[in-house]
Structure 1
Amino acid sequence: MPEWRLGPWLTRLLVAVGIVLCAMVVFTPFELYAQLGFAFTTFLAAYVINRFTTGRLATLILIGISIVTSLRYLYWRLTSTLGFETNVDALFGYGLLAAELYTILVLLLSYFQSAWPLKRKPVPLPDDVDLWPSVDIFIPTYNEPLDVVSQTALTALAHDWPAHRFNIYVLDDGNRPEFKAFCEQAGVGYITRDNNRHAKAGNINEALKVTNGEYVAIFDCDHVPTRSFLQIVMGWFLLDPKLAMLQTPHVFFSPDPLEQNLEVFKKVPNEGKLFYGLTQDGNDLWNATFFCGSCAVLRRSALLDVGGVAVESVTEDALTALKMNRKGYNTAYLAIPLAAGLATESLSRHVGQRIRWARGMAQIFRSHNPLIGKGLSLAQRLCYASAALHFFYGLPRLVFLTAPLAYLFFGAHVFNASALLIMAYAVPHIVHALLTNSRMQGKYRHTFWNEVYETVLAWYIMLPTLATLVSPNKARFNVTQKGGVIEQDYFDWELSRPYIALLSLNIIGFIVGFVSLVFYADSWALMWTLIMNLGWTLHNIVISSASLAVAGERKQIRQAPRVVSNLVATIQTQGGYRFACETTDFSQFGLGVRTTGQLPLRVGEQVWVSVFRNEEEAMFPARVVFVGDNKLGMQFDELSIAQQAELAKVTFARADTWALFWADGEKDSAWVAMKSIGHISLQGFKVLGREANQFVRSRFARLFASTTK
Structure 2
Amino acid sequence: MPLLLIWPLWLIRRPEQDTPIWGRRSLILLITLFTLRYLTWRVTSSLNFDSRLSISLSLLLLLAEAWLLLIGLIPLWLAWRRFPDRRFEINDRQQRWANSGWKPHVDILVPTYGEPIKVLERALIGCTNLSYPHTKVWVLDDSGRHEVKTLAAELGCRYLHRPEHVNAKAGNLNHGLRHCRGELVAVFDADFIPQRTFLDRSIGFLLEPEVALIQTPQTFINADPVMRNLGMEHWLLSDEESFYRWIQPVRDGWGAVVCAGTSFVVKRKALDQIGGFVEQAISEDFVTGISLTRQHWRLLYLQEKLSAGLAAETMADFVHQRQRWASGTLQSLRLRSGPLHPKGLSLGQRIAYLEGVMHWFNNVPRLVLMLMPLSYGLLGIIPILLNSEAALTLLLPLWGLQVLSLGWLNRGSRTAFLSELTGWVLTVPLTMTVLSNLIGRIGGFRVTPKHQRRDRGSTSVELLLPLLALVLFNLVNLQGLLSNASGLPNQVLAGRPVGLVWGVINLLSLIVAVRACWDPAAKDLAPWQKLKLEAWIEDDGGHRYPCCITALSESGAKIAYSRSPLPWVASSKLRWCQELPALPVIFTNKTDTEALLHWGDLARQDRYALIRWLFCRPGCWVDRQAPQEGRALLALFRRLIAPPKRGPFNPSMIPQHLPRVQGSAHQ
TM-score (structure 1 length as normaliser): 0.83
Give the Å deviation of 1:235: 0.9
Deviation at 1:383, TM superposition (A): 1.3
Computing the radius of gyration from Cα coordinates, the structure with the larger value is 1
Report the equivalent of 2:357. Answer: 388
**1:167 alignment counterpart:** 136
Taking the TM superposition and a 5 Å limit, the aligned residue runs for 1:134-533 are: 134-162=105-133, 165-238=134-207, 240-367=208-335, 370-415=339-384, 420-421=389-390, 424-441=393-410, 443-471=412-440, 474-517=442-485, 519=486, 527-533=493-499
Which has the higher mean CA deviation after the structures are superposed, 591-600 or 372-381?
591-600
Q: Identify the match of residue 599 of structure 2 among 633, 636, 644.
A: 636
Distance 2:140 2:40 in 1: 54
Partner of residue 24, structure 1: none
Aligned to 1:6: none
**Residue 619 and residue 207 in structure 1: after superposition, are their counterparts in 2 closer, same or farther (change >3 A)?**
farther
- The one-letter code matched in structure 2 to 1:636 is W
In structure 2, relative to structure 1, the CA distance for the partners of 1:569 and 1:89 (3 Å cut) is same
- Determine the C-alpha separation between the residues in 2 that align with 1:312 and 1:457: 26
Deviations 1:94-146 (A, max 9, x none): 22122112201221112134455421122214336952221111221111111
Give the structure 1 partner of residue 656 of structure 2. none
Contact 2:83 2:250 in 1 (8 A): yes
Shift >6 Å, 4+ stretches: none
Question: 1:359 Cα shift?
Answer: 0.9
Q: CA deviation at 1:322?
A: 1.2
Number of the residue aligned with 2:32: 67
- Per the TM alignment, residue 53 of structure 1 is displaced from its structure 2 partner at its CA by 9.8
**More displaced, 74-83 or 297-306?**
74-83
Change (3 A) 1:363 1:513: same
Residue 663, structure 1, aligned to residue 629, structure 2: no
Tell me the distance in 2 between the aligned counterparts of 1:89 and 1:385: 33
How far, CA to CA, are the matches of 1:53 and 1:206 in structure 2?
46
The answer on 1:672 being equivalent to 2:634 is: no
Counterpart contact for 1:565–1:584, Cα < 8 Å: yes
Q: Which residue of 2 aligns with 1:591?
A: 557
Aligned counterparts of 1:548 and 1:655: Cα–Cα separation in 2: 38
User: CA separation of 1:390/1:683 partners in 2, compared to 1, >3 Å: closer, same or farther?
Assistant: farther
**2:372 aligns to what SS in structure 1?**
helix
Deviation at 1:584, TM superposition (A): 2.8
RMSD: 2.7
The structure whose residues are more often helix, as a share, is: 1
Kindly provide the amino acid, as one letter, of the partner of residue 196 in structure 1: H
Distance 1:53 1:197, change over 3 A: closer
Q: Distance in 2 between matches of 1:422 and 1:467?
A: 37
**Letter of the structure 2 residue corresponding to residue 669 of structure 1:** Q
Gaps of 5+ in 2: 644-667
Q: Which residue of 2 aligns with 1:105?
A: 70
Deviation readout 1:46-69 (Å, 9 max, x if unpaired): 444445997243232122111011
What is aligned with 1:544? 510
Give the conservation status (yes or no) of the 8 Å contact 2:467–2:514. Answer: yes
How far did residue 486 of structure 1 move? Answer: 2.4
Q: Shift in Å at residue 426 of structure 1? A: 2.9
Q: Which residue of 2 aligns with 1:43?
A: 5
Larger mean Cα displacement after TM superposition, 170-179 or 674-683: 674-683
Please list the CA deviations of residues 553-597 of structure 1 after superposition, one character each: whole Å capped at 9, or x if unmatched. Answer: 222221311222345655442334344555333223333344563
* Cα displacement (A) at 1:228: 1.0
The answer as to whether partners of 1:59 and 1:439 remain within 8 angstroms in 2 is: no
The whole-number CA distance in structure 1 between the counterparts of 2:559 and 2:139 is 33
The SS at the match of 2:577 is strand
Q: Is the 8 A contact 1:358 1:392 kept in 2?
A: no
CA 556–69 in structure 1, closer or farther in 2 if over 3 Å, else same: same
Residue 649 of structure 2 corresponds to none
Q: Distance in 2 between matches of 1:81 and 1:623?
A: 68
Shift of 1:74: 1.8
Structure 1 residue runs of 5 or longer lacking an equivalent are 1-37, 685-709
Q: Deviations over 1:4-42 (max 9, x none)?
A: xxxxxxxxxxxxxxxxxxxxxxxxxxxxxxxxxx3x233
Deviates more, 1:451-460 or 1:127-136: 127-136
Q: Letter of the aligned partner of 2:246 in structure 1?
A: L
The reply to whether residue 124 of structure 1 matches residue 85 of structure 2 is no
Change (3 A) 1:141 1:606: farther
Residue number in structure 1 paired with 2:664: none
Q: Is the 8 A contact 2:217 2:304 kept in 1?
A: yes
TM-score, normalization by structure 2: 0.88
In structure 1, what is the equivalent of residue 653 of structure 2? none
How far 1:284 moved relative to its partner?
Answer: 1.2
Structure 1, 354-363 or 481-490: larger mean CA deviation = 481-490
Does the CA-based 8 Å contact 1:513-1:530 persist in structure 2?
yes
Name the CA distance, whole Å, in 1 between partners of 2:226 and 2:606: 35
Percent sequence identity is 27
**Cα-to-partner distance string for 1:687-706 (whole Å, 9 max, x where unaligned):** xxxxxxxxxxxxxxxxxxxx
CA-CA distance at 1:644 after TM superposition: 3.2
Residues 674 and 124 (structure 1), Cα distance of their counterparts in 2 relative to 1, 3 Å cut = same
Matched to 2:351, the amino acid is L
Following the alignment from structure 2 to structure 1, what is the Cα–Cα distance between the partners of residues 377 and 78? 38
- In 2, are the aligned partners of 1:157 and 1:645 still within 8 Å (CA)? no
